[in-house]
Amino acid sequence: MGLPMTCGVDPMLMNPPKLQRVLYNLVSHALRHTPADGTVALHAEPDGEVVRVEVAATGEGTATQDLQHVFE
């Protein structure tokens, strides 16, 4: 099953290997902790000079005390 792909973000300069690593880690974690009948969604939107990317899932989520370590 394919997912609709839409994006209202203009192209920007980035470090592709680092962005790929971050997105891979976030999406992998979301998939591991989301039930088979759940959903994982990615959303990107411009915010001034940056783009904010959100990975949202219907899984158990990340414990509050672990959020500070997500990007270590």
Domains of the chain by residue range: 16-60
pLDDT tens-digit series, residues 36-72: 999 999 988 888 888 888 889 998 877 788 778 776 7
User: Taking Cα atoms as reference points, which of 46, 47, 45, 48 lies closest to residue 56?
Assistant: 45
Q: pTM score, two decimals?
A: 0.68
Mean pLDDT, residues 25-39 taken together: 90
Distances (CA, A) of 55 to 10, 38, 59: 19, 13, 11
pLDDT at 7 > cutoff 80: no
pLDDT at 3 > cutoff 70: no
